[in-house]
Each structure stands twice: as C-alpha cells, then as structure tokens.
Amino acid sequence: MKYFQPVLTPTILIGNSLYWSYVLGGACIIEFDLDTQRLALIEPTPNAYAHDDTVFAVMPAEDGGLGLIVVLGFGAQLWKWKAGVRHDDATWVLGRTVELDKLLPLGAAGKRKPLALVGFDEENNVTLVRTSCGIFLVHLQSMTFKRLCNSGSARDIHIYNAFSSFYDADDFL
C-alpha cells in the first residue's frame, strides 16, 4: 500500500459508546458500549478502504448517531449508520459529498499529497485535516476552515486531540 492510515485513530464518544476506526490488514470500526461493557465490530462502507489514498474516521452524524467521513483523493463523503432491528439489518447511508480541493488550499496540482484525517472534535463538529500545505480545522456544517499550522511544523505529527476549554472569570483567582 502506497499510503496508510495510522492504526491509532482518534476516539469519539457518541451516546454511551466509544468508537474508533482500526486499520491493519483490513478495516473496521470498533464500538465499546460503556453501559454493557461490550465490544462490537462495525464494517465501514466498502469505499472506506478501496484505494491506497483513501482514509476514513468515525464521527458523529449530522443529525446524531454514528457517522463516518471517507476521504477519497481530494473529496470527502459523509455517511450515517442506520441501525436496523437486528445488527445484520444496519447499513450505511450516504449523506453528502464535499469537494475538499475546492475548499482547502492543497498546493500545486503536481505536488499534492493525499489528505489525512488527524483529529476530530465531536462537540463542535470539526475535523482536523492534514494537507501538503498544513493542518486545517474544517467545520463540517458551514464548510468553513481555519489553518492551524503550516506543513513544515506538522509533518511528523499523525494524531491530534482537539479540545476546547473555558473558565468563569468570577471564579478565577
């Protein structure tokens, strides 16, 4: 395989379950239910690992529940997991497609490298995308982005943990 997705991927909390994607000799999504303390494996969409430059990550779906973002080349597909009566009845449903090459600065066409999904903030519905031009924070609903750093300072970092914090000025000091 020419490019690979790191085996370690960001973990997200949706409802009472933790989810993360696992890629090593195949691909799956691992679910850990915090209430029942059980693990389950969910098959990603077939195109999630069909090509060498494809990466995917679990995320909250736009209207809640489990979602999946699949980056194939310079485009992204947003999927939602539709649960059935039985686990066998569940399926992935395509929500929308985003042309990232029209949204993000990716550099000269001949020097572009595959995009990498390197983090996700489920509370703010943003994903962190590494391009050959740097790391970008992409808000998935508004499709706005912000450059966090240039490519030179981020080339050796593979996973980011997005977080936000606040404090009450009255309680400070």
- The answer to whether residue 132 is domain-embedded is yes
- The backbone region for 132, taken as left when phi is positive above 0, alpha when psi lies in -120 to 50, beta otherwise, is alpha
Q: Residue 35 CB: number of other CB atoms within 10 A?
A: 8
- 2 in a domain, yes or no? no
Q: Is residue 172 part of a domain?
A: no
Q: What is the pTM of this model?
A: 0.75
Asked if residue 47 belongs to a domain, the reply is yes
Residue 35, pLDDT score: 96
| Pairing, β 91-99 against β 75-82 | antiparallel
Query: Does some domain include residue 73?
Result: yes
Specify the amino acid at residue 9.
T
Note the pLDDT of residue 155: 55
Q: What is the pLDDT of residue 136?
A: 83
Instruction: Name the domain count of the chain.
Output: 1
Specify if 34 maps to a domain.
yes
Instruction: Report pLDDT for 1.
Output: 39
Q: Which residues of the chain have pLDDT under 70?
A: 1-9, 24-26, 49-53, 86-88, 107-112, 151-169, 171-173
Contact 54, 35 (CB under 8 A): no
- Collapsed DSSP state (helix, strand, coil) of residue 161: coil
Residue 144 counted as domain residue: yes
Domain, as residue range, for 139: 12-153
Q: Given this model, what pLDDT does residue 92 score?
A: 92
- Find, among 111, 112, 1, 106, the residue nearest to 51 by Cα: 1
CA–CA distance, 133 with 105 (Å, rounded to integer)? 7
| 170 within domain boundaries | no
Torsion of CA 43, 48, 53, 58, to 10 degrees: -80
Q: Any idea which residue has 């999904």 for tokens? A: 117
Phi/psi at 136 (5° precision): -125, 140
Q: How far apart are CA 131 and CA 117, in angstroms?
A: 9
Q: How does pLDDT run across 124-137, given as a tens digit for each residue? A: 788 888 887 788 88
- pLDDT given at position 32: 95
